Amino acid sequence: MSGGSIIIFILNIFGALIIAILGILVGLFYKGIDRKLAAMLQSRVGPPIRQPFLDFFKLMIKENIVPENAIPWVFNGAPVLALVSTVTILFYIPFGPIPALLGDSGDLILIAYLLAIPAIALVAGGFSSGSTYASIGAQREMVLMMSYELPLVTTIIGLGWRLNLAYPGLKVFSLAALSTNPIWGLVGPLGFLGALLLLLTLVIVTPAELSIVPFDIPEAETELAGGVLVEYSGRNLALFELSNAVKMIVMGTLTIALFFPYNIAHLLSITGFFAYIINILFFFFKLFIVIFFEATLIRVALARLKIDQASTAYLIFLSATSLMGLLLIAIDYII
């Protein structure tokens, strides 16, 4: 390995550490904002914004209990796998004007696989715990994951397919390519409506990815006492909470990169370093808006669904919505 390659490797490692730490900190911060806003919408005072940080540190100093009937290496490895896979996605997603660290090495297909790993880790951890409640929660997690994967993948295929028609030979599933060529500029009126349906699909998939109301059926505290997480405590539970906080940033950032990748500095006639700062601040503002509509508003407005209701909603209604969006984009291209 040459000297230049070693330097690039070290810089990538350093960049990965910075992104991982910032991703966790920003995730916990936005999770605090989400909880505060939800409380305000329900006419409650709610916890302080710093509460997720306090919860994390409290869990880290508590005893890490492994059930007697559990499979220890699976039980302890599941939360680590969930956090590592979620943080890894951050390396492939651009943050506004900041390009992805490994943007040239991955695409939306890889991100879709990485998004499935935390759910698989939850399933493995639930089944390995030896708890009946956790096993039921794990079964629900599997059903829910299989239900929302189809509309999610349809959305990804729809965006990539339309970009390929506009720019043959381009890496159409690359987030860099998709964020540089937003779908809104590639379609006409019918295609615009189709893109709105794909956006709606991604918005509705997000609560299930984050395991929040109305799709928190695998945990369902009032029914399963925590379900898939019922036996987790201490550091293991803290890692699962971190994974969920980071995934909130991942889903919000993914929505922005696919549908709202616009910057604002040029509209304000700002250039140079200040333009970079303004665009970063604008990105975090967009992230706040997206999280509010994808997570906070949905879980405040709706009550928990049953597992059969959630599965039907995703497999039938949302899949039909995403396919209709894809069809409208195709018709728009033909005519």
Q: Closest Cα to residue 81, out of 109, 135, 108, 120?
A: 120
Paired tokens of 193: 């409506």
Q: Please tell me which residue, 204 or 7, carries the higher pLDDT value.
A: 204
pLDDT value, residue 76: 92
* Start-end of H helices in the chain: 3-41, 51-60, 72-90, 108-128, 132-166, 175-180, 189-209, 221-224, 234-259, 272-291, 297-301, 307-312, 319-334
Contact predicate 175/166, CB 8 Å? no
Q: Give yes or no for residue 206 having a pLDDT over 90.
A: yes
Q: What are phi and psi of 278, to 5 degrees?
A: -60, -40
**pLDDT reported for residue 216:** 85
Please report the pLDDT score of residue 1 as a whole number: 54
* Residues contacting residue 330 through CB under 8 Å, at least 6 positions apart: none
- % of the chain beyond a pLDDT of 90: 54
Average pLDDT on 302-310 reads: 87
- C-alpha span between 262 and 170 (Å, rounded): 20
List pLDDT tens digits, range 127-138: 998 888 888 889
Global pTM reads 0.92
Each residue's pLDDT tens digit, 163-179: 988 888 888 888 888 88
Residue-wise pLDDT for 27-48, tens only, equals 999 999 999 999 999 889 889 9
pLDDT(326) > 70: yes
- The dihedral through the CA atoms of 217, 218, 220, 224 has a sign that is positive
